[in-house]
Amino acid sequence: MSRSAHTYALDGIEVVLTVPEGVRVPRVLVLRETAGGHVLEFEHVGVKAVRATAKRKPQQARPLTKMPEDWLPPEHEVAQANIKAPSVNVEFETAQFVDWAISKGEKRADWLAAWRTWIRRTHQRNLEAGWKPKSAPAAEDARAKWCRLHGVTVEEYEAKKGDAEWLERIKRRGVVA
């Protein structure tokens, strides 16, 4: 159904009244304030046709399905889960998720999205329980660093560290790496 927008004005104030096409509107729009007894009279200054908004068709919801017995998330999703939820044993939680869904007869429109939610919630619970990421691998110890910088192996250093002449030659040679 088409509509029309009628504009009324009074002292720089505009009021727009939208009505179905064909409805008669007054030339003067009168607004009364009952408490103070004021009356405002807005003059009709124009009309525009308003295009009727097309009603949207409701989106067809995806059908709910039971989880297949052999369901597994795609490998790239597992890799992403391992990165985004490092506290989660993704393989174990996936098995838990599948067993839960099958045993309860759960139905979902998107099992992959449900699995991602399961993994994120598990990670969140782990964080709330105090899980902290493992520290970075231990830094190279001072001896190993010295050996690397002077071009010798730790084994060679251990075997010859008592030989003052050898040690002096290595020191004179300086940093090689």
pLDDT of 2-15, one tens digit each? 888 899 998 888 88
Tokens of residue 114, six digits: 């449900």
Is the pLDDT at 33 greater than 80? The verdict is no
* Whether 112 contacts 75, CB under 8 Å: no
* Beta partners for residue 40, in sequence order: 31
Please report the pLDDT score of residue 46 as a whole number: 86
Is the full-model pTM beyond 0.85?
no
Domain ranges of the chain: 3-50, 65-128, 142-173
Is the pLDDT at 35 greater than 90? The verdict is no
Average pLDDT of span 52-75:
85
Is the pLDDT at 111 greater than 80? The verdict is yes
Share of the chain above pLDDT 70, in %: 92
* Whether 10 contacts 40, CB under 8 Å: yes
Coil, helix or strand at residue 157: helix
- Greater model confidence, 12 or 96: 96
User: What confidence category does residue 95 fall into, taking pLDDT thresholds of 50, 70 and 90?
Assistant: very high
* Whether 20 contacts 3, CB under 8 Å: yes
Average pLDDT of span 18-23:
86
Q: Give ∠ CA 72-75-81 in degrees, rounded to 5.
A: 90
| Range scoring the smallest mean pLDDT among 15-19, 24-28, 139-143 | 139-143
| Range scoring the smallest mean pLDDT among 5-9, 54-58, 147-151 | 54-58
User: What confidence category does residue 151 fall into, taking pLDDT thresholds of 50, 70 and 90?
Assistant: confident
